C-alpha cells in the first residue's frame, strides 16, 4: 500500500484490477494477516502477488492457487461473501 508505483490490485472475485485503496477497504481484514509477522511464507503479501509484467502499476495474483488461498483467508475470517452468496446477490449489512 505504501508503494506509489502500484495503483491497482487484482480483485480475486472480479478478476480485474481495482484501485488499491478500494482493494484495501474490501480486503483489509485479510491484508492485516499478511504483514509478515510469522515465519511462514503465506504470511507475506509477496506469496500471493507479483507485479504484473505487462502493467507495472498492477499487483496480480501469482496464480490460481494463491488467489484461492487469499480468498479462503477471507472466508475463514467471515470478511468476504462466499461465491454462492455473491452469485445469489446476497448483501451483508
* Domain tally, the chain: 1
Tell which residue, 35, 32, 15, 11, has the closest CA to residue 23.
11
Q: What is the mean pLDDT of residues 22-47?
A: 84
What does DSSP assign to residue 92? -
Q: Measure the N-to-C terminal CA separation of the chain; round to a whole number of Å.
A: 27
Which has the higher per-residue pLDDT, 69 or 83? Answer: 69
pLDDT level of residue 93 (50, 70, 90 thresholds): very low
Element (H, E) at 60: strand 58-61
In a domain, 2, yes or no: no
Domain membership flag for residue 93:
no
Domain that includes residue 80, residue range: 8-88
Amino acid at each position: 500500500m505504501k508503494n506509489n508505483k502500484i495503483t491497482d490490485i487484482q480483485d480475486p472475485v472480479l478478476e480485474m484490477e481495482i484501485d488499491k485503496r478500494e482493494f484495501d477497504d474490501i480486503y483489509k481484514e485479510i491484508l492485516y494477516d499478511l504483514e509478515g509477522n510469522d515465519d511462514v511464507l503465506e504470511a507475506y503479501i509477496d506469496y500471493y502477488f507479483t507485479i504484473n509484467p505487462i502493467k507495472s502499476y498492477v499487483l496480480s495474483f501469482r496464480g490460481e492457487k494463491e488467489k484461492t488461498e487469499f480468498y479462503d483467508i477471507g472466508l475463514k475470517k467471515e470478511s468476504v461473501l462466499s461465491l454462492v452468496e455473491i452469485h445469489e446477490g446476497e448483501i451483508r449489512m
